[in-house]
Chains A and B, each alone.
Chain A
Amino acid sequence: MTQTNRLDGGLIDRSTPLSFTFDGRTYGGFAGDTLASALVANGVRLVGRSFKYHRPRGIISAGSEEPNGLVELRAGARREPNSRATMTELHDGLVATSQNRFPSLRFDLMAVNDRFSAFLGAGFYYKTFMWPRAFWERVYEPIIRRAAGLGSLSGAPDPDVYDRGFRHCDLLVIGAGPAGLMAALTAGRAGAEVILADEDFRPGGRLLQERIAVGGDSGAVWADAVIAELASMPNVRVMPRSTVIGVFDHGIYGVLERTGDHLQTPAEGKPRQVMWRVYARRALLCAGATERLIGFADNDRPGIMQAGAVRGYVNRFAAAPAEQVAIFTNNDDGHRTAGDLAAAGVDVTAIIDSRPDAPASDVAELFAGAVVTGTSGRLGLGGVSLRLADGGHKHIHCGALAVSGGWNPNVHLTCHHRGRPVWQDDIAAFIPGEGVPPGLAVAGAARGIFSTAGALADGAAQAVAQLDEIGIRAPASKLPDSEDAGFAISPLWHVPGKKRAWLDQQNDVTVKDVKLAHQENFRAVEHLKRYTTLGMAGDQGRTSNVLGLAVMAELTGRSIAETGTTIYRPPYSPTPIAAFAGRSVGREFRPTRLTPSHHWAAEQGAVFVEAGSWLRAQWFPREGETTWRESVDREVLATRASVGVCDVSTLGKIDIQGGDAGAFLDLVYSNTFSTLPVGKTRYGLMLREDGMVMDDGTTARLGETHYLMTTTTANAVGVYRHLEFVRQCLRPDMDVQLISATDSWAQFAVAGPNARLVLQQIVDPQHDLANDAFPFMACADISVCGGVPARLFRISFSGELAYEIAVPSRYGDAMIRALMEAGEPFDITPYGTEALGVMRIEKGHVTGNELNGTITARNLGMARMVSSKKDSIGAVLAGREALVAEDGLCLVGLRALDGGQVMAGSHLFDAAGPVDAAHDRGYVTSAAYSPHIGASIGLGFLVRGAERHGEVIRAMNPLEGRSAQVEICSPHFIDPEGERLRD
């Protein structure tokens, strides 16, 4: 439990000690630590194994750019692989495990890969695993799949809740370092709506990691004061633990807030993470810069870190990377690290500065013009070898090496709309160039202004400029004093040598790999990236990209500016898919619509089926019924014998009003509706522009200028959209108004010979239901049960005497109960969608199965419904030559012989002859067992079907290995004359 490398001071809360485990061993830390800083404080250098060669690896950075310190967090279903230790806020009881090693981190058998590195260079998989061909799938692929990847998923559903959200602001400030804090302060004081998002749990950015004074205080004290002032402003929202992952269209930013990651388990119902969609009128990128390393032989040993990260661990977390630390730098930043280490009492064994004119140092021995040529140590750094300015060699003992190769501005978000960064020679780095997303500006180190004073001033100035664009005048804030040092760098990308020098530690890409890419002519940056995998994976190459293309530039002899850079896309940091899904998971993946009789049906023990977003009763099992067929047969027979009731509220209902409503319907339906008398209902066929049938249904004329259209359940939305298109785009001159009435009405089909007798007990007595007074296809506004408004339609899907009665939805539950009560003397039977389907097949009514998008009115035997007396959508193209050919498909009924079964999806073949595509005569669209016929029946489309009634053919289903002898017949299995429904 001793934190051997813990120093004094720092921004940790020593009054809150925390305990955590790494690879099963318990360690101590403090509130304010990250997992990485706690491991550093405990002297744990080895934290993982590399992707390809399984090299021992340690923590490199103190931020989200970390390529090596990847662990599995938590256990069980909450296990999360590839979590960056540097971004993991320490909490009591945290469980972390190393990954990509077997059997243990210290002894990893897969490290044998490192011995065969000569065969595993860039693109090795393009050249190996080629022969023999038979090995591709059976041998090579399983091996590669087993070896690939880093961490592993738990395989169990994530038990945590994730959320989404939406926020609006005038100015989104991305990053809470000196530039971001000053920008937020300036905008906040001006009264603008401000969101300040920072990926750290404590705002302040580099100010927390440096010993630089701001306004006379330490940077951390100044940052705390600014945050306190911002927190007091109602117009400012500070969002710590929030990463801006992407810039999308129209000023929309994705922000992942980690609301519960720092807790052992989020409280019940509280989200672990929230994915915010931020609508920002303007945004300011203050994302700072990332320090890069230098390539030299074996530069990936645990203990080799960014110099700036070393300062961060020492200053912010009071954790020394080792007792003895050496510095390797090509710029002044390394000297700052040496000063901070010395101030904290850490032994700085050497400053190796590649610049011959390196500034003198009073804290450690300086080797100017020297470079590191190699390192030693097995599972951690033991020392480094130098080549001195005079060509001599030297070995220096150290447990850590702080490396500074210069700083890369974090330009990533500026590239999300294909912006191209441009090279700036004096800082040897890419800065934002052309194509920055509209509304986004960049301030501070993110655009190459590296001094603290410069960043503070730039943040304030950019905020003023951004707000000015949207008409908000922000007075200039008084800037606090701070350091304003220049930035002197002499680029050094890698130290040439024979051994491997790592550029991208997450993907195991070395200088040799870049040389190989060059040799094989993959020289363009995009080719280099794909060939070597440089800059891919979770860190998006933040520490490696520039190194790789600088090496390529050296090889090609072109400048880095000419070589260019690859660009970045969202997300900026790895983002769980769960956060994108939010609460739209499991049963609540999408909304569910319930019918007005749902609760009643559930009480009856109904079995429900999803129909679009609706839940409908499929059948109502009764005690003693062991199969669904028993229930469905009973429901069908009872309905045909006496009376049944079914909730049909799901059918789309569209209220159509206006002086041109009739003409409008004449246009959208192939048959005529303008002549329909008030109080009547008509079946309508709606075609697409290409002449295929789109939907069918009945439309009632409720008044001179008022119609009510019914659509199929499945097409309710599509038909409404189509009508709106016709109204708004094709005929804006027409006086037509549309509104959906689907949810307004609870509608029940009451079908069977006793339907009228049941309804007569419900319908108020002034409404005469006698056949003459209210004949087939009549409709009326009526009242029921003593004055409740209702609509009655005499239409039939089942082929029986039938009505559909509609009441306002609030009465729906009461209505089904009333119908059941009124129907009790007639053994009224509720039926579900299965019985509904059986009865409509028996009657030969078509539905979505038949209206499959390839079927014309002529195929349905309804060619005469396409009126030639008027123009209607689809009428012209329905007359295309091929669509009116004599040998077209024709709707037929099919009856299985000898107890066989008709299966939907079967194809139809002549009684004898081959079964192949060339002899296909049609197909079966719907099938059911008809208790009325006592056989399996179906509907289908058959070439010249109308002429073939009485023939026996074969219905074949090779997929299921089934076939049946079927007799072709009329699609109307019951009451073909339609006498029952007119009775």
Chain B
Amino acid sequence: MISLETTTALGNKAPYDETIGGLRITEIAAPVLASLAMRRGKAAGFKRAAANIFAGGLPAPGTSSGDADRRVIWMGPDQYLVEGMTGTELGAAFGAHAAVTDQGDAWAGFEISGADCVAMLERLSSADSRRMTAGSATRTPMHHMHCVLVCRKTGEAFTVYGPRSAAQSLHHALTAAAASL
């Protein structure tokens, strides 16, 4: 039987990792993400399950909650993106209260770290990355793509998720912005 090996969103065996000036940009080899949407009429069970799984329960619009292991990011009314759980895990946790779809293969993820993070993100995103604190997350367009920005460490470390099929363009946008500082 032929065996299948995975590639990263940029199409390589090993994730991209480069330091440009004071910024390190690293590709996440295999993002662990799943979408979570509340089933209509299942609010009570949905919120109960969320309270059990996510530190801080469900986030308010435009925010996120959770901890370093599992983060739940508001995406729309009763819709969330969950970091740190696969669709299978999340589906098992929510049962019939939620519609869950694995999103690990839908997104390309890049970790950005360094003192110039905010200066770089200012060139890419209208999100106020300067005032984002560790754990805060927001949807934001970057270079015409819908992206999700998560702050890992205030002012110093962020994660950017963008459409996997456009990983090359997102990578170009990130590295060009880093080089332009």
Contact = CB atoms under 8 A, between A and B. Distances in A.
Interface stretch (A386-394, A453-461, A651-659): A651-659
Contacts of B125: 166
B11 A813 contact: yes
Contact of B164 (A271, A660, A809): A809
A655 B35 CA distance: 11
Contact of B144 (A591, A614, A649, A739): A591
Given A168-B128, A737-B37, A818-B2, A588 B123 contact: no
B5 to A, nearest CB: 5
B123 to A, nearest CB: 5
**A: interface residue count bin:** 35 or more
A271 B180 contact: yes
Contact of A815 (B4, B164, B165): B4
B37 A744 contact: no
Contacts of B169: 588, 591-593
A795 interface: no
Contacts of B170: 591
Interface string B26-38: 0000100001011
A822 interface: yes
A274 B120 CA distance: 13
A815 to B, nearest CB: 6
Nearest to A815: B4
A743 B40 CA distance: 26
A785 B1 contact: yes
B105 A659 contact: no
B180 A163 contact: yes
A786 interface: yes
A817 to B, nearest CB: 8
Nearest to A732: B40
B4 A165 contact: no
B4 A744 contact: no
B168 A592 contact: yes
Interface string A701-716: 0000000000000000
Nearest to B125: A166
Contacts of B164: 743-744, 809
Interface in A161-186: 161, 163-168
B40 A785 contact: no
B3 interface: yes
A697 interface: no
Interface string B142-181: 0111000000000000000001111111101100110110
A614 B165 contact: yes
Given A583-B143, A584-B144, A743-B105, A807 B123 contact: no
Given A166-B125, A599-B11, A807-B4, A583 B176 contact: yes
Query: Which of B106, B107, B165 has the most chain A CB atoms closer than 10 A to its own CB?
Result: B165
B122 A167 contact: yes
Interface residues of B, number: 51
Contacts of A164: 123
Contact of A810 (B3, B35, B105, B131): B105
B115 to A, nearest CB: 13
B104 interface: yes
B48 interface: no
A165 B118 CA distance: 11
A808 B7 CA distance: 11
A616 to B, nearest CB: 11
A584 B180 contact: no
Given A269-B180, A811-B6, A744 B144 contact: no
Contacts of B3: 785-786
A77 interface: no
B165 A595 contact: yes
Nearest to B140: A166
Contacts of B131: 168, 193
B103 interface: yes
Query: Which of B4, B39, B172, B180 has the most chain A CB atoms closer than 10 A to its own CB?
Result: B4
B83 interface: no
Interface string A582-623: 011000101111110011000000000000011000000000
A725 B168 CA distance: 31
A722 interface: no
A588 B143 CA distance: 9
Interface in B63-85: 79
B164 to A, nearest CB: 4
A163 B168 CA distance: 19
Interface string A241-283: 0000000000000000000000000000111001001010000
A591 B126 contact: no
Given A807-B4, A810-B105, A598 B11 contact: yes
Contacts of B2: 761-762, 785, 818, 821-822
Nearest to B167: A594
Contact of A657 (B6, B99, B122): B99
Given A808-B105, A811-B4, A814-B4, A743 B165 contact: yes
A236 B165 CA distance: 39
A807 B144 CA distance: 27
A161 B176 CA distance: 10
Nearest to B127: A166
B7 A810 contact: yes
Given A161-B180, A279-B126, A785-B2, A810 B165 contact: no
Contacts of A590: 144
B46 to A, nearest CB: 11
Contact of B179 (A269, A588, A594): A269
Contacts of B104: 744, 808, 810
B133 interface: no
B5 A814 contact: yes
A485 B40 CA distance: 72
Given A592-B166, A594-B165, A584 B143 contact: yes
A526 interface: no
A741 interface: yes
A591 B145 contact: yes
A12 interface: no
Nearest to A786: B1
Interface in B121-137: 122-123, 125-128, 130-131
Contacts of A788: 4
A784 B41 CA distance: 37
B123 A165 contact: yes
Contact of B168 (A594, A737, A745, A786): A594
Contacts of A163: 123, 177, 180
A193 B130 CA distance: 10
Nearest to A653: B106
A413 B162 CA distance: 37
A740 interface: yes
A739 B35 contact: yes
A158 interface: no
A583 B176 CA distance: 9
A279 B128 CA distance: 9
A735 interface: yes
A744 B6 contact: no
B39 A744 contact: no
A649 B164 CA distance: 12
Interface of A: 161, 163-168, 193, 269-271, 274, 277, 279, 583-584, 588, 590-595, 598-599, 613-614, 649, 655, 657-660, 733-737, 739-745, 761-762, 784-786, 788, 807-815, 818, 821-822
8 contacts: A594-B168, A599-B11, A613-B166, A736-B40, A739-B37, A739-B103, A743-B163, A807-B4
User: 5 closest Cβ contacts across the A-B interface?
Assistant: A591-B169, A737-B99, A735-B40, A657-B99, A737-B37
Interface of B: 1-9, 11, 30, 35, 37-41, 79, 99, 101-107, 122-123, 125-128, 130-131, 143-145, 163-170, 172-173, 176-177, 179-180
Given A592-B169, A739-B99, 20 more contacts: A163-B177, A165-B122, A165-B123, A269-B180, A274-B123, A584-B144, A588-B143, A588-B172, A591-B166, A592-B166, A592-B168, A593-B166, A594-B166, A657-B99, A743-B105, A743-B106, A743-B163, A784-B4, A810-B30, A821-B2
